[in-house]
A and B are shown apart, each in its own frame.
Chain A
Amino acid sequence: MTVRIYVPIDSVALSLGADEVAGAIQIEAIQRGIDIQLVRNSSRGMLWLETLVEVETEQGRFAYGPVNPQDVKSLFDADFIRLGEHPLFHGAVDEIPYLKRQQRLTFARAGITDPQSITDYVQYGGYVGLQNALTMDAETIVDCITQSGLRGRGGAAFPTGIKWKTVLDSESEQKYVVCNADEGDSGTFSDRMIMEGDPFMLIEGITIAALAVNATEGYIYVRSEYPHAYASLKQAINTAVDKAYLGENILGSGKTFNLNMRKAAGAYVCGEETAMLESIEGKRGIVRAKPPLPAIQGLFAKPTVINNVISLATVPVIFSQGADFYRDYGMGRSRGTLPVQLAGNIRHGGLVEIAFGITLRELIEDFGGNTESGRALRAVQVGGPLGAYLCDSQLDVRMDCEALQQVGGSLGHGGIVVFDDTVDMAQQAKFSMQFCEIESCGKCTPCRLGATRGVEVMDNIISGHNVQQQTLLLKDLCSTMLDGSLCAMGGMTPFPVLSALKNFPEDFNLKSVPEAG
């Protein structure tokens, strides 16, 4: 009997030798005369267990991990295809508490399917949402997304329904949908996992967005640092066109939607939506002033829906299960689920999709298992390079856009980076300024020059030169950047800097933080 074995094709697995593991399994099986079928699936998101090898049995799928190429021989020696005892054995995949406790709506297929198999996708509930949307008129589609309470998952948390309504109501012969896949925040990888692991879901979501606003052309802007995601999406788009899920006359509906891909070129600021539009138009990624809103004058000056990967990838489940189903998850104004990314110095790093409202401490301690180094946790950066550094006493905050704002933080794209007690928070503050210096598009003076001055001030503080006065200068500089920058690059760089100063003054050669006068 053929035994089916799964080895993930996600970048994390690849970076830990998944191709070599897959190759070793095939060679070993041939040498031992064992009949196997090797499937390259997506990742379950339990990244500390990668490469996670699964064996399919009549009782379901069972996990072994983390498997290195040199472990393969011992797995066969232990007769792992019949679930033999092995130190890397974790039992039934679905029973692993890390997965069992999650509420996976957007990541429902993660780790289960072959990302490039449209048959797998349809078998596991794919394209039901599009079928339903094709029976609705544009207004009804927009109403449904408004009802679901979905807010943008890229960082700004803007209500998706309002955005789509604005584009729908804008008169134009040509409209666009643009998917922002420029996931540049350190500590985030959920977009990458979708593009590599479930590309048809993203394509389906973008297609529904196009139907909602009567757009016939769309673009996905993928960062150049994600070559595997780019290749995966490209292949999936070709398959979707072949199967009439994209292009002219989608599924015989008479509707047309063409989806194009654009590769970014290593500029963090192009994750800002208007800089991204400039980049797609073939220009320098310089931020545009708003208004006009992109929903009214966006790509090539036409009305444009711009959504992040996770926002669009969540659209299919809303249309297959219903807006109420989705809205019933979550808390306050943050409805639905949030794909949290546990990253940095954490024992059980990975993807945790769960309803809004869980505390940061539950995520880090219960899911994450605290630091990987085993040392005390000192700082947590939530929401990417522009997010605040929180300290231990702030970890009881709930994962909710408004709750995080109240403690001076931001949810951003849902990335959580954990640091242990070896971290030097003055160096982290300096890095935030350096990052802004490198990545500023240069349009606004407070961002372009402020970041450079910020690095100099931080150098002075770190070397102990006139620390009290330099700290006042730093705060003054940060308030100028905050108020005087068009976009989040300059406008939010002060968040990690000032939060590091406030929460960890002992690292700044300071006994107390001086008040700005």
Chain B
Amino acid sequence: MLKKDFDNAAILPLITEFEGVPGALLPILHRIQETLGYIPQQAVGCVAEFLNLSRAEVHGVISFYQHFRQHACGKHILEVCKAEACQSRGGRELDAHVREQLKCDFNETTTDGKITLEAVYCLGLCATGPSIAIDGKPYSRVNEQRFKQLLEQMS
């Protein structure tokens, strides 16, 4: 996987607009991840200094929330809903099928670096599941055939 180095000069321009925002840590982390795809280790110190927090506090927040990634991800993010409403409509079978097709487990990336597979607990599409999201775009009524089509469309 691509390794990049980030220094304060790369991180700081992303976060300066949050100066004075109360409780700005989550918005800052979102901004970094939206821009870089994940929150690199180097950003922790920079953010901690900016908010006058300890590195441990910043790391603690990053590691608490499932949405924040600490490592670079694949070109696409594939989220598969694992919650009850989707389970009742074939979600468990789709979950197994997706892992088998991609030959990777949740929180892993396919060997070609194309897709990072993540579990999600509810996309709010509970009457038309099983549901997935690809790079934030929702798809429901996903059976094996539809998944195959979606997979082929991903470049």
Chain B: CB-nearest residue to A45: B127
- B125 A381 Cβ-Cβ under 8 A: no
- B60 A417 Cβ-Cβ under 8 A: no
Q: Is B147 located at the chain interface by the 8 A CB criterion?
A: no
- A225 B25 Cβ-Cβ under 8 A: no
- B85 A285 Cβ-Cβ under 8 A: no
Given A16-B141, A184-B122, A344-B126, answer yes or no on A265-B29 (Cβ-Cβ < 8 Å): yes
- B84 A428 Cβ-Cβ under 8 A: yes
- B66 A265 Cβ-Cβ under 8 A: yes
Given A16-B140, A279-B26, answer yes or no on A186-B122 (Cβ-Cβ < 8 Å): yes
Chain B: CB-nearest residue to A263: B30
A-side interface mostly: mixed
Q: Is A284 located at the chain interface by the 8 A CB criterion?
A: yes
Chain B: CB-nearest residue to A277: B23
Docked complex Cα distance between A419 and B92 (Å): 13
Q: Which of A47, A184, A262 contacts B127 (CB 8 A)?
A: A47
**Chain A positions 266-306 with a Cβ under 8 Å from a chain B Cβ:** 266-268, 279-285, 300
- B23 A417 Cβ-Cβ under 8 A: no
Classify chain A: how many residues form its interface, as a range: 35 or more
Docked complex Cα distance between A16 and B136 (Å): 14
- B138 A187 Cβ-Cβ under 8 A: no
Q: Is A418 located at the chain interface by the 8 A CB criterion?
A: yes
Chain A: CB-nearest residue to B137: A14
Q: Is A106 located at the chain interface by the 8 A CB criterion?
A: no
Given A225-B120, A265-B67, A268-B121, answer yes or no on A346-B83 (Cβ-Cβ < 8 Å): no
Chain A: CB-nearest residue to B64: A284
Q: Which of B24, B57, B120, B126 contacts A189 (CB 8 A)?
A: B126
Given A187-B84, A300-B22, A343-B127, answer yes or no on A224-B67 (Cβ-Cβ < 8 Å): yes
Q: Is B114 located at the chain interface by the 8 A CB criterion?
A: no
Fill in one digit per residue for A6-41: 1 if any B CB lies within 8 Å of its CB, else 0.
000001101110000000000000000000000000
- B124 A372 Cβ-Cβ under 8 A: no
Docked complex Cα distance between A50 and B139 (Å): 12
Q: Is B42 located at the chain interface by the 8 A CB criterion?
A: no
Q: Is B41 located at the chain interface by the 8 A CB criterion?
A: no
A69 CB to nearest chain B CB (Å): 13
Docked complex Cα distance between A225 and B85 (Å): 16
**Chain B positions 14-28 with a Cβ under 8 Å from a chain A Cβ:** 22-27
**Chain A positions 395-439 with a Cβ under 8 Å from a chain B Cβ:** 415, 417-420, 423, 428, 431, 435, 438-439
A333 CB to nearest chain B CB (Å): 28
- B125 A12 Cβ-Cβ under 8 A: yes
List A contacts of B133 (CB < 8 A).
225
Chain B: CB-nearest residue to A441: B64
**Chain A positions 171-223 with a Cβ under 8 Å from a chain B Cβ:** 183-189, 192
Q: Is A160 located at the chain interface by the 8 A CB criterion?
A: no
A275 CB to nearest chain B CB (Å): 10
Fill in one digit per residue for B123-155: 1 if any A CB lies within 8 Å of its CB, else 0.
111111101010011111100000000000000
Q: Is B87 located at the chain interface by the 8 A CB criterion?
A: yes
List A contacts of B26 (CB < 8 A).
262-265, 279-280, 282
- A266 B65 Cβ-Cβ under 8 A: yes
**Chain A positions 284-338 with a Cβ under 8 Å from a chain B Cβ:** 284-285, 300
Given A282-B25, A431-B84, answer yes or no on A349-B127 (Cβ-Cβ < 8 Å): yes
Docked complex Cα distance between A419 and B83 (Å): 13
Q: A15-B138, A226-B124, A280-B26 are in contact. List 10 more A-B contacts (CB 8 A).
A: A12-B125, A264-B67, A265-B30, A265-B66, A279-B26, A283-B25, A284-B60, A343-B85, A344-B129, A435-B121
24 CB < 8 A contacts A-B = A15-B123, A15-B138, A15-B140, A48-B127, A185-B122, A188-B126, A225-B122, A225-B123, A229-B124, A264-B26, A264-B67, A266-B65, A279-B26, A282-B25, A284-B61, A341-B127, A344-B85, A345-B89, A349-B127, A349-B128, A415-B126, A418-B88, A428-B87, A439-B121
Report the 9 A-B pairs with minimum CB-CB distance, sorted nearest first: A349-B127, A282-B25, A186-B83, A266-B67, A265-B65, A343-B126, A344-B88, A282-B23, A15-B138
